[in-house]
Structure 1
Amino acid sequence: MKFHTRKPTALAALLLTATFAFAGCGSDDAGDSGSSAEGGDSGGGDLTLTMLPKNLGNAYFDTSTTGADKAAEELGADIEEVGPETGSPDAQVSYINTVAQQGKSALILSANDPDALCDAIEEARSADVKVVTFDADTNPDCRDLFVNAATSEGIAAKQLELISEAIGGSGEIAILSATANATNQNAWIEMMETELADNPDYADIELVDTVYGDDEDQKSFDQTEALLQNHPDLKGIISPTTVGIAAAARYLSDSEFKGKVALTGLGTPNQMREFVEDGTVASFALWNPGDLGYLATYAAAALVDGDITGEEGDSFEAGELGSFEVGADGVVLLGEPFTFNADNIGDFDF
């Protein structure tokens, strides 16, 4: 088994604000990671941490690990990043077992399955390893804490806020979603519909259509074209899916609607950069994986040090991000989604 390790680095993008909040998704290689049979640590303290993302070679998780490295450096902790090349629960089990055998202080894990990892995690916890999940949770009984990027309510509210700003608070809008049965997408859409109906700030905004691109690039591109043909007065599109927003932006950028029809939603900086820089998209949102890794590391340290137990109402300090409180089911919430725009998108690489 290969252990991929990383030394702490200071990333300027992680210093943007005390609410460096983003984000679910990216690709690319694992930065300055190396490998050794022992699994080299970085740092120099008694606090020993292992970062286990869903997979390596993913720029989203590279960014979360950079945040974890920064926190570990501030804490004087040893930290290593390990993980499989592909995202599957079976591939993560052997790494969890090794953490238990090594007697590490804590495991920081983005789980590839909510239940399949629980036996391995329980073995680690039996060896006094604290387990903090981030980005993707396990069954709450399996871990000590879950560091959640953002709530469904926060994601829905942010997208409405951005589209309202983009269209001047009035006009027809549409939603380009993923699949018709996507649980998270449907929850966000339902919350947006409720907010549009109940919030007087949005009284002049009308949702005229919701279509589905099935998280396929070409279908999402075609659905964007259909929306614009079917609704000639359309002023804005919300696409709460990274595939959909990129496809819609590509269509708009090379059409007569560029600069006339606004687009926002959930995307990653690397896929949206060209469309922000050419003026197709003013802003979009996502949670920040750098802050997520940073917060998860401070949460793990607080558990190891006994400052918290993971019970609801526990509170701890997380460096430059400030104070956090543990909520129901051992959940710590990072905050509202982060907004990317022309002023800051150059600071991110995921």
Structure 2
Amino acid sequence: MSISTTVRVRGFAAVATVCVIAVTATACGGTTKKSSSSSSGSGSSVTSSATANPDAPLKTGLKIAFLPKAINNPYETIVDDSGIAGAKEFGGTAKEVGPSDSSASSQVSYINTLIQQQQNAILLAANDPNAVCAPLKEAMKKGIKVVAYDSDTAKDCRQLFINQASSEQIGRSLVQNLGKQLNYKGKIAILSATQNATNQNTWIGFMKQELALPKYKGMTLVKVAYGDDDDQKSFQQTQGLLAAYPDLKGIISPTTVGIAAAARYISSSSYKGKVVVNGLGTPNQMRKYVKDGTVAQFSLWNPKNLGYLAAYAAAALSSGQITGAEGETFKAGKLGTYKIGANGEVILGKPTVFDKSNIDGFNF
């Protein structure tokens, strides 16, 4: 696969939120984000340790890299920017690198380059749970810590997974919210990201479990469509869903790209006020659709906190405070103390529902 050598720089912009819940191209080219610190760190791999030392101080000069699903995803920009700022707090150097597309294998070349650069930790939102496993296992063999965030890998391919909220809670709550809006009647569709996205498929699995309950007997899931986290494709998929099912009553889009594209299409169509759109989005992205009546409500966790937590988790791993074992705890800066659950999972917190009553209290 050929990778662009274009370098894109984005400085971290401080964003006011209400909490509820160096510019260099990589060796293989690719897109690189401005580092949070000019220091280069030790440049050596971190040696693995089977025993955690919770009293160990966070190391300074750590080099960590965020590898999102795609470099141009607005949601992941917010997450990674906050993680880069968090790394600066503990004296680390952080950057964002990644592909411009979200195909299953698009992240592999970047992982290999980050290994060559001897990063202390790689943080990855996986496009596919298995496609990235071989290089991630190679990274861990070399002492590089691996933290999945937002979208998990296979469990033996990383030490930690920073989850936004309980996957079951996210999936079921989206159906519950839409069900109430539709009075539990009508045809619905799901507009997802990529077919292999771990988080999307996990949530959809719980959506289907929720829909199987007796109270949803009047609701029918007619299709799961995929917009590949691409704005135009998601827009076209929305258009296609409504052409194929003109009596569609609701769309759940558990992706920030998808929900905004769906809302944009419906806002200027005859379906406005007739088709309910719900899902996961950011307040700044969805505000105009809430205020013009296209969308009554949507959900999300605080993406800034997700990136910040991921950065501190990577630092705790790299410093030997934790190993990723269940029951271990670590402090994530201003967010406080977190405990590691089963299979190395750390949960940020509960999602928040945004609507006209509270959306202006948030700016991200």
TM-score interval (norm. to shorter) = 0.7 to 0.9
* 1:230 counterpart residue number: 247
Over 3 Å counting, the alpha-carbon distance change for 1:43 and 1:166 in structure 2 is farther
**Which region of structure 1 is more displaced relative to structure 2, 312-321 or 275-284?**
312-321
Match of residue 173, structure 2, among 158, 163, 166: 158
| CA positional deviation for 1:7 | 6.3
| CA positional deviation for 1:294 | 0.8
Alignment partner of 1:106 is 2:104: no
Does the residue aligned with 1:177 lie in a helix, a strand or coil?
strand
Over 3 Å counting, the alpha-carbon distance change for 1:52 and 1:182 in structure 2 is closer
**Equivalent AA in structure 1 for residue 93 of structure 2:** I
Over 3 Å counting, the alpha-carbon distance change for 1:260 and 1:68 in structure 2 is same
Question: Where in structure 2 are the equivalents of 1:258-277 lying within 5 Å?
Answer: 258-259=272-273, 261-267=275-281, 272-277=286-291
Does the residue aligned with 1:86 lie in a helix, a strand or coil?
coil
Compute the TM-score of the two structures, normalised by the length of structure 1: 0.73
**Equivalent AA in structure 2 for residue 149 of structure 1:** Q
- RMSD (Å) for aligned C-alpha atoms: 3.9
* 1:89 counterpart residue number: 107
Over 3 Å counting, the alpha-carbon distance change for 1:63 and 1:240 in structure 2 is closer
Alignment partner of 1:313 is 2:327: yes
| Structure 1 residues 262-285: Cα deviation after superposition (integer angstroms, max 9, x where no partner) | 321234556544322311102112
Over the matched positions of the two proteins, sequence identity in percent amounts to 37
**Which region of structure 1 is more displaced relative to structure 2, 241-250 or 105-114?**
241-250
| CA positional deviation for 1:49 | 2.8
Conservation of the 8 A alpha-carbon contact between 2:225 and 2:237: yes
**Which region of structure 1 is more displaced relative to structure 2, 130-139 or 105-114?**
105-114
Distance of 2:155 and 2:201 partners within structure 1: 23
* 1:26 counterpart residue number: none
- Where in structure 1 are there 5+ consecutive unaligned residues? 20-32
**Equivalent AA in structure 1 for residue 247 of structure 2:** N
* 1:149 counterpart residue number: 164
| CA positional deviation for 1:244 | 5.6
Match of residue 11, structure 1, among 9, 15, 25: 15
* 2:219 counterpart residue number: 207
**Equivalent AA in structure 2 for residue 10 of structure 1:** A
* 1:42 counterpart residue number: 37
| Structure 1 residues 91-134: Cα deviation after superposition (integer angstroms, max 9, x where no partner) | 3134322332xxx4433233455445445444543443322222
Distance of 2:216 and 2:100 partners within structure 1: 46
**Equivalent AA in structure 2 for residue 35 of structure 1:** T
Distance of 2:153 and 2:115 partners within structure 1: 16
| CA positional deviation for 1:297 | 0.9
Question: Where in structure 2 are the equivalents of 1:1-350 lying within 5 Å?
Answer: 10-13=14-17, 16-19=18-21, 34-35=23-24, 42=37, 46-54=60-68, 55-74=70-89, 76-87=90-101, 88-100=106-118, 104-164=119-179, 166-167=181-182, 170-178=183-191, 182=195, 188-189=203-204, 191-195=206-210, 198=213, 203=215, 206-215=218-227, 216=233, 217-224=235-242, 227=245, 229-230=246-247, 234=249, 236-240=250-254, 245-246=259-260, 248-254=262-268, 258-259=272-273, 261-267=275-281, 272-342=286-356, 343-344=358-359, 347-348=362-363
Conservation of the 8 A alpha-carbon contact between 2:174 and 2:252: yes
| Structure 1 residues 272-303: Cα deviation after superposition (integer angstroms, max 9, x where no partner) | 44322311102112444322211111111222
| Structure 1 residues 300-321: Cα deviation after superposition (integer angstroms, max 9, x where no partner) | 1222332211111112222333
Over 3 Å counting, the alpha-carbon distance change for 1:7 and 1:127 in structure 2 is farther
Does the residue aligned with 1:12 lie in a helix, a strand or coil?
coil
Distance of 2:319 and 2:284 partners within structure 1: 37
**Which region of structure 1 is more displaced relative to structure 2, 207-216 or 279-288?**
207-216
Conservation of the 8 A alpha-carbon contact between 1:133 and 1:146: yes
Distance of 2:326 and 2:242 partners within structure 1: 44
| CA positional deviation for 1:159 | 0.9
**Equivalent AA in structure 1 for residue 236 of structure 2:** Q
Over 3 Å counting, the alpha-carbon distance change for 1:308 and 1:18 in structure 2 is farther
* 1:24 counterpart residue number: none
| Structure 1 residues 144-163: Cα deviation after superposition (integer angstroms, max 9, x where no partner) | 21212344312222213432
Conservation of the 8 A alpha-carbon contact between 2:62 and 2:315: no
* 1:23 counterpart residue number: none
| Structure 1 residues 167-224: Cα deviation after superposition (integer angstroms, max 9, x where no partner) | 5xx3424321248x9577676455345435648xxx4883145234453533422433
Does the residue aligned with 1:137 lie in a helix, a strand or coil?
coil
Distance of 1:166 and 1:140 partners within structure 2: 36
- Where in structure 2 are there 5+ consecutive unaligned residues? 28-33, 40-58, 228-232
* 1:27 counterpart residue number: none
**Equivalent AA in structure 1 for residue 114 of structure 2:** I
**Which region of structure 1 is more displaced relative to structure 2, 44-53 or 249-258?**
249-258
Distance of 2:72 and 2:257 partners within structure 1: 19
Conservation of the 8 A alpha-carbon contact between 1:43 and 1:78: no
Conservation of the 8 A alpha-carbon contact between 2:159 and 2:344: yes
